[in-house]
A and B are shown apart, each in its own frame.
Chain A
Amino acid sequence: MTLKPTFRKLLAALLCLGAIGSLQATPATLIRAGDLKAEAFIDATNVTSLPADTALTVLESKGGWSRVRTADGKTGWVRLLNVRVAAAASPAGSTLAAIGGVVRTGTTKGAATTGVKGLSKEDIARSQPNPREVARLDTFRSKPAQINKFASARKLKARDVPEQNP
């Protein structure tokens, strides 16, 4: 099967996007010893046991779990709150985030801070009150029936969770 050059270029671009996605993997540390699970649930098979302070790369998160890769190349799931992303993100991370901004919004982040309104410290300092926008909020208020519909469409089930003291 031969691919037309334009299609091939497009495919290359898509693969490149995929690569950016996987490069967004984040360096992190396991803060307490725990099992590396083959799947994201408590009864899943153990891949291995990891000691506290194991260096990891976080690949993705789902529910209360994070999929990680160890330095020796093992991948699996650990509890989300047992993983702590490194405090100082690598410079590469911020560059990639900027690229992500270009890809996702079609504009550069630089453009987002010049000539447009925003919510930076400077934007707040130069803000002039806008009561008309505040009044506009009232027009979007949901009716109880709309809220019921929202919840039933998602099968959201209310649960009793006590508000324990910290």
Chain B
Amino acid sequence: MKKIILATALVVLASGCTEQLRRAGITDENINAVASVAGTLNKPDTTPAEEARIGHAAASMLLGAAPLVNDQEMMQYINQLGGWLARHTGRNDINWRFGVINSSNVNAFAAPDGYVFVTKGLLRELGNESELAGVVAHEMAHVIKRHYVIAMRKKDTSGAFANLAATSARSAGVKGADLAAEPLANLAQNMYSSGLDKGDEYDADRLGVIYATRAGYDPYGLPRVINLYASKAGSSGFELLFSTHPSPQDRLQQLDKVMGERFAAYEANSVIDNAAFKRIQTRAIKLADPKR
């Protein structure tokens, strides 16, 4: 019976007759729930232009919480490191942009259309450059596999994606873009405070190791960072990282399965560190948090 009601509701909704549903005694809450299902089913895949807008909204939200560091050397360093990694992902065509966010919270983020961020707090904690390369490569994998676009589409109950498609179709100017901006910003807030599925994180760990190793870095950089997280469970500044990721123990177990001893062969000719990393880290340690 429930299925029949749902199916009927979908048909009625599709024809735009929500008023008839209300008259039939179906609550707004139910209508919205069904609309959300219908929306997911009907949503066509996003275009590259739409993904650029989603990525921009997500980056704008993250940098609205805390800005980039005001430090040219740090910013150039992360862009050169990321630029080198990009050449070994098979997706050097993506519009990659890298940044260090001036926050003491320990975390890293990716957003659609090539945005990758690490926090100042993360730079302070890492042991060497290959560990940073592992984290950046993990974030790049999220971009390449479109994890955020796919997850945001699933989470989108307010029609942000539909607005996006509508305004894109009209190729509207600023006015059209504005219509989608707020729902997108809300969706991004929801997305980045709840995190991706575990499977996406395991996938990004696996690919992060591969990309960093291809680029000549020590394959064990990322596993060492996850070990570091394990030893920091419950520490201040790690809260969001822990609440949005599978446990470090589970991540290591998954990495262990895919890495085995297959990567040991690459260890000998790998780069673990560079003096520039320590210089950047010192700058990160000295840098004050931005005032609210």
Contacts and interface: CB of A to CB of B under 8 A. Distances in A.
A159 B59 contact: no
A100 B268 CA distance: 32
A27 B98 CA distance: 35
Given A63-B272, A133-B68, A117 B102 contact: yes
A118 B105 contact: yes
Contacts of A101: 236-237
Nearest to B56: A134
B243 A117 contact: no
Given A120-B105, A166-B202, A93 B231 contact: yes
B227 interface: yes
A89 B219 contact: no
Nearest to B115: A137
Contacts of A118: 65-66, 103-105, 289
Contacts of B231: 24, 26, 58, 85, 89, 93
Contact of A137 (B99, B124, B261, B276): B99
B84 A147 contact: yes
Contact of A112 (B203, B237, B274): B237
Nearest to A112: B104
A130 B249 contact: no
A71 interface: no
Interface of A: 24, 26, 31, 42, 58, 61-64, 66, 79-81, 83-85, 87-89, 91, 93-94, 97-98, 101, 104-105, 107, 109-110, 112-113, 115-121, 123-131, 133-134, 136-138, 140-142, 144, 146-147, 149-151, 153-161, 163-164, 166
Given A131-B56, A150-B80, 5 more contacts: A79-B261, A97-B232, A123-B66, A129-B57, A140-B72
Interface of B: 56-57, 59-68, 72, 75-76, 79-84, 87-88, 97-99, 101-105, 107, 115, 119, 124, 127, 129, 181, 185, 189, 192-193, 202-203, 206-207, 210, 213-220, 223-224, 227, 230-237, 239-240, 243, 247-249, 252-253, 255-259, 261, 263-264, 266-267, 269-272, 274, 276, 285, 288-292
